[in-house]
């Protein structure tokens, strides 16, 4: 009978991938129970012996590199460890466990290590009890080789399924360049920036699979279902056939949608809807164009600060923005000023963020950071303004929570414009300035924001996080992340209504905008501009083209009348079936 190992987490993207595991573990090597089949025993013993020999060779070469002049206690220390590697406690005993009990090599070594440490722990002699550190040191050396045996020989991530405790957005970008097939993390949630990036880059991903780095081995064949949040090892032919079928279905669906690329996003009752793209990397330009986006509703600029040791200067900002503006061939681009902090940390790229704050989501992020650090803000503003001379560009300010922040930001923008004018540098003097409504306070004051801005954009990822007090990166509270919560729906509605009353455009650029489950409800609530990962555009267009917005408006009004008494999920189902 074949044993199939299944890990359940949260799907973070909609695609499926198959590939060999690449274990990226940053903690110590502690093996957990694993057994091999009877016919694998001899190979497993050989694997253990090879690891032991490799660990010995490594120690010998370290010893050989120590100059004679160095104190002898270091060489003694190494000699002790070499002797331990020749002791039957670490040679014969683990091999016996593999042979007799079918333990996997790492697990057999772990059992022996724990038994030895228990003996040392029971000794009263303080000298002898410190020897357990030596045991740990030696065991660690061998485990490192066992865990990473294949990895040590092959550092190529191409087509691999990366298994890691967690990944930062910067890791994700790097790995994408290395051609990974998918990733699975133990922590994290679908609303984290890492997961958003995975969707936008088309990387299949599952997050929140506890212990995934412990229960899977490097090189193991895995299936990753980013839609259902499942990771499967040792899948049999029947299961593999199922996933191949699903991949084919997804491809067929995408091919059908492709036909809509040049069709307008107009509803059955003739209302026009604007569908825009969220972008962050240069490669998104291509998918934005190929999916027929009407513009970029959110250009996240944080990637510019990742995987580097210093912040980009004005010229680098400018080069990047010009490549986007020109690459998009004249459609409007909404550049969001930097939103670093919270889940968008960078490694060393931005010294002002260290030491890490204790509650980053409520700390110095986004516009708060920019106002505190004008030296970080100004080069970006200058570059955005300069890029506006080459095509339709809009500035968008993230995470506004009060009008004072907006006024301060505006003053800095005006000052920057004056500087550019005095230097004779061109820019669009009427560049639209918009703000993200992603903090409940801003949504509740949307009327004032709408009077002071040229456009609003609803950031539901943060709006939901802050309204419902759920950390968007914490998979343990992810089940509470609910776009249909009455409070969230009210805040969205207030923002749309406030923008309409002030006669300014309003869009939504949070993940909710690209989720087909909510399109009809949002249309009914009055939203006419949606900005999303480029891959979602055609799906949403398909829904728009089959919707009667007049009817949806009536249904949404009914939903709002019974918001606190009715079952919102059930009402949404009714809206979605038409
Ligand atoms: C949001 O918060 O909804 C949003 C679009 O911004 P980000 O996900 O980059 O925080
Ligand atoms: Mg946000």
For the stretch 214-267, pLDDT in tens is: 888 888 999 999 999 999 998 999 999 999 999 999 999 999 999 999 999 999
Q: What are the percentages of helix, strand and coil residues in the chain, rounded to 5?
A: 50, 15, 35
> Minimum-distance ligand to the CA of 298?
1
DSSP state of 344: B
Q: Which atom of ligand 1 is nearest to the CA of 461?
A: 3
Active-site residue set: 193, 509
pLDDT value for 268: 97
Closest residue by CA, ligand 1 atom 1: 459
Q: What separation in angstroms does the CA of 19 have from each of 148, 223, 225, 231?
A: 17, 7, 12, 11
Token code pair at residue 569: 């999920």
pLDDT digits (tens, 9 = 90+) for 460-498: 999 999 999 999 988 899 999 999 999 999 999 999 999
Closest residue by CA, ligand 1 atom 4: 459
Closest residue by CA, ligand 1 atom 7: 461
Q: Read off the pLDDT of each residue in 339-347 and give the average, rounded to a whole number.
A: 67
Q: Which atom of ligand 1 is nearest to the CA of 191?
A: 8
Q: Using pLDDT thresholds of 50, 70 and 90, give the confidence band for residue 391.
A: very high
283 CA to middle of ligand 2, Å?
A: 21
193 CA to middle of ligand 1, Å?
A: 8
pLDDT value for 27: 55
pLDDT value for 128: 64
Q: What are the phi and psi torsion angles at 3 (to 5°)?
A: -95, 130
pLDDT value for 578: 74
> Minimum-distance ligand to the CA of 399?
2
pLDDT digits (tens, 9 = 90+) for 19-68: 999 887 655 667 878 889 999 999 999 999 999 998 888 778 767 766 56
Which DSSP string corresponds to 461-501? HHHHHHHHT--TT-GGGGGG--TT-HHHHHHHHHHHHHHHH
CA 481, 556, 535, 528 torsion: positive or negative? Answer: negative
Which residues have CB under 6 Å of ligand 1? 196, 298, 300, 339, 438, 459-462, 509-510
Q: Using pLDDT thresholds of 50, 70 and 90, give the confidence band for residue 149.
A: low
pLDDT digits (tens, 9 = 90+) for 418-472: 999 999 999 999 999 999 999 999 999 999 999 999 999 999 999 999 999 999 9
Q: Which atom of ligand 1 is nearest to the CA of 459?
A: 3
pLDDT value for 72: 56
pLDDT of 410 > 50? The answer is yes
461 CA to middle of ligand 1, Å?
A: 5
Substitution site in 200, 459, 460, 467 for ligand 1 pocket (most atoms within 8 Å of beta carbon): 459
pLDDT value for 64: 74
pLDDT of 271 > 80? The answer is yes
> Minimum-distance ligand to the CA of 509?
1
CA 518, 459, 208, 474 torsion: positive or negative? Answer: negative
Of 201-205, 305-309, 316-320, which gets the smallest average pLDDT?
305-309
pLDDT digits (tens, 9 = 90+) for 24-33: 765 566 787 8
Q: What separation in angstroms does the CA of 154 have from each of 23, 151, 219, 320?
A: 12, 5, 10, 34
pLDDT value for 66: 61
Give the chain's mean pLDDT: 89
Token code pair at residue 301: 């600029």
Closest residue by CA, ligand 1 atom 8: 461
pLDDT value for 349: 42
Substitution site in 188, 276, 300 for ligand 1 pocket (most atoms within 8 Å of beta carbon): 300
CA 321, 396, 167, 13 torsion: positive or negative? Answer: negative
359 CA to middle of ligand 2, Å?
A: 16
Substitution site in 198, 438, 457 for ligand 1 pocket (most atoms within 8 Å of beta carbon): 438
pLDDT digits (tens, 9 = 90+) for 558-567: 999 999 887 8
510 CA to middle of ligand 2, Å?
A: 7
CA 566, 569, 573, 575 torsion: positive or negative? Answer: positive
pLDDT of 1 > 60? The answer is no
Sheet of 16-23, strands arranged across? 5-8, 230-233, 221-225, 16-23, 160-164, 182-185, 205-207, 10-11
pLDDT of 7 > 60? The answer is yes
Token code pair at residue 145: 């080789």
238 CA to middle of ligand 2, Å?
A: 42
pLDDT digits (tens, 9 = 90+) for 110-145: 999 989 888 887 777 666 666 777 788 788 888 878
Contacts of 57 (CB under 8 A, 6+ apart): none
> Minimum-distance ligand to the CA of 336?
1
pLDDT value for 357: 63
Structural contact between residues 420 and 458, judged by C-beta atoms closer than 8 angstroms: no
- Give percent above pLDDT 90 in the chain: 65
pLDDT value for 352: 45
Substitution site in 509, 515, 522, 530 for ligand 1 pocket (most atoms within 8 Å of beta carbon): 509
462 CA to middle of ligand 1, Å?
A: 6
Residue found by looking up tokens 């279902």 in the block: 225
Token code pair at residue 540: 């949403």
Token code pair at residue 132: 């357990």
pLDDT value for 156: 72
**Which is more confident, 392 or 152?**
392
């Amino acid at each position: 009978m074949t044993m199939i190992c299944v890990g359940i987490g949260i799907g973070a993207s909609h695609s499926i991938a198959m590939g060999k595991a690449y274990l990226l573990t940053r903690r110590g090597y502690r093996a957990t129970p694993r057994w091999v089949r009877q016919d694998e025993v001899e190979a497993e013993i050989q694997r253990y012996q090879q690891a032991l020999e490799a660990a010995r060779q490594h120690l010998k070469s370290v010893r050989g590199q120590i100059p004679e002049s160095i104190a002898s206690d270091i060489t003694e220390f190494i000699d002790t460890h070499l002797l331990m590697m020749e002791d039957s406690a670490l040679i014969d005993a683990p091999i016996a466990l593999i042979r007799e009990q079918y333990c996997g090599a790492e697990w057999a070594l772990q059992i022996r290590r724990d038994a030895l440490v228990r003996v040392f722990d029971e000794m009263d002699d303080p000298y002898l009890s410190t020897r357990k550190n030596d045991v740990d040191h030696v065991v660690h050396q061998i485990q490192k080789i066992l865990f990473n045996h294949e990895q040590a020989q092959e550092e190529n991530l191409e087509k691999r399924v990366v298994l890691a405790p967690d990944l930062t957005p910067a890791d994700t970008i790097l790995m994408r360049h290395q051609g990974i097939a998918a990733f699975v993390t133990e922590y994290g949630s679908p609303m984290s920036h890492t997961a958003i990036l995975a969707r936008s880059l088309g990387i299949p991903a599952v997050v929140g699979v506890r212990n995934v780095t412990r229960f899977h081995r490097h090189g193991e064949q895995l299936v990753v279902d980013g839609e259902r949040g499942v990771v499967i090892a040792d899948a049999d032919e029947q299961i593999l056939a199922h996933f191949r079928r699903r991949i084919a279905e997804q491809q067929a669906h995408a091919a059908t949608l492709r036909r809509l690329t040049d069709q307008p996003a107009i509803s059955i009752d003739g209302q026009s809807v604007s569908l825009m793209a969220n972008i962050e990397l240069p490669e998104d330009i291509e998918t934005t164009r190929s999916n027929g986006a009407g513009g970029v509703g959110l250009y996240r600029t944080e990637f510019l600060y990742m995987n580097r040791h210093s912040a980009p200067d004005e010229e680098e900002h400018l080069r990047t923005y010009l490549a986007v503006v020109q690459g998009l061939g004249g459609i409007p681009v909404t550049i969001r000023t930097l939103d670093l902090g919270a889940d968008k940390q960078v490694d060393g790229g931005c010294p002002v963020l260290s030491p890490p704050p204790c509650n980053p989501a409520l700390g110095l992020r986004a516009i708060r950071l920019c106002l505190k650090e004008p030296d970080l803000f100004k080069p970006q503003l200058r570059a955005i303004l300069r890029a506006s001379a080459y095509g339709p560009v809009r500035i968008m300010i993230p995470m506004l929570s009060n009008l004072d922040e907006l006024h301060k930001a505006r003053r800095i923008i005006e000052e920057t414009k004056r500087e550019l004018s005095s230097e004779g540098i061109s820019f669009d003097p009427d560049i639209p300035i918009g703000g993200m409504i992603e903090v409940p306070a801003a949504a509740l004051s949307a009327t004032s924001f709408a009077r002071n801005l040229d456009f609003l954009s609803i950031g539901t990822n943060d709006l939901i996080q802050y309204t419902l007090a759920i950390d968007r990166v914490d998979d343990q509270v992810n089940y509470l992340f609910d776009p249909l919560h009455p409070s969230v729906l009210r805040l969205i509605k207030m923002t749309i209504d406030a923008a309409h009353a002030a006669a300014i455009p309003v869009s939504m650029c949070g993940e909710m905008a690209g989720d087909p489950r909510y399109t009809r409800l949002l249309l009914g609530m009055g939203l006419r501009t949606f900005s999303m990962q480029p891959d979602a555009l055609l799906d949403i267009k398909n829904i728009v083209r089959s919707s009667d917005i007049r009817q949806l408006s009536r249904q949404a009004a009914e939903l709002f009348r019974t918001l606190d008494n009715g079952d919102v999920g059930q009402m949404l189902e009714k809206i979605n079936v038409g």
